[in-house]
A and B are shown apart, each in its own frame.
Chain A
């Protein structure tokens, strides 16, 4: 299956939904900084993995899928919840990639420049997560692991 970019999805999302994500993301980032300042980087660092995107994305996904089905004349559907479950499974793979991101930053940052470290770590996160997604999609044994 090809990976596609659906630009039409921009119009589906309302301005207040974008605002909610912005405020949530901003609050979590500010809170992480405050916690690290007050209790040290070891505790503050835990919040770098706080699920800042998933709750809003899953809620919107279910809402949009339900609206699509309602427009098609289907009143009740679990399709939105199943789509959110798919998104959650993708997030699980993204979190495994996130471990690679964190390990690279931990080991490289004290010796290498910030920009180079972050670019390499981000590229590694995307590669590892995408490869896991691809492998899960095409190999039955992996599908049973990441059910």
Chain B
């Protein structure tokens, strides 16, 4: 009987892995669609200072929370939202640094926005260590 149990376990593992892959594909499609929709709205709006609000739209959060509630439940998604609340400080630091570099130092947009992602990561990691862990 151990062979049967092992086979059942292997089958369950394969099913779980497959489900995870399917979930990732769904997350990719839903996330891509919602992020694109908010980005497009930001493109269409004028003045640009107001349109910038849509660059910080909770698009990834909308996609993730919806799918997480379906798969893991509301308590699990609420925990993700608590982390999001703390991590918004990292986004604020990122946006403030971008405003300074682009508006005052007149650096190029693409390298500035990409390099400063490291700042977002550093602040988020610090907040995770100090506040959430």
- Given the interface contacts A5-B45, A50-B60, does A29 sit within 8 Å of B83 by beta carbon? no
Q: How far is the CA of A67 from the CA of B111 in the complex (A)?
A: 19
- Identity of the chain A residue whose Cβ is nearest the Cβ of B83 in the assembled complex: A45
Q: Which residues of A contact B46 (CB under 8 A)?
A: 3-6
For the complex, would chain B's binding face be called helix, strand, loop or mixed by DSSP majority? Answer: helix
- The reply to whether B62 and A86 contact each other, CB–CB distance below 8 Å, is no
Contacts of A45 in B (CB 8 A): 79-84, 87
Given contacts A81-B102, A118-B62, A137-B49, contact A41 B79 (CB under 8 A): yes
Q: Which of B49, B65, B133 has the most CB of A within 10 A?
A: B49
Task: Give the number of A-B contacts (CB < 8 Å).
Answer: 340
B56 and A97 form a contact (CB under 8 A):
yes
- Chain B interface size range: 35 or more
Tell which of A6, A22, A48, A110 has the most Cβ of chain B within 10 Å: A48
Complex CA gap A81/B113 in Å reads 11
| Contact bitstring B34-72, A, C-beta under 8 A = 1, else 0 | 111011101111111111111111111111111111001
| Distance of A18 Cα from B37 Cα, bound (Å) | 10
Docked complex Cα distance between A74 and B50 (Å): 27
Contacting pair A105 B65 (CB below 8 A): yes
Q: Which residue of chain B has its CB nearest to the CB of A59?
A: B110
Quick check: B85 and A85 within 8 Å, CB to CB?
no
Among B39, B63, B94, B133, residue most surrounded by chain A Cβ atoms (within 10 Å): B39
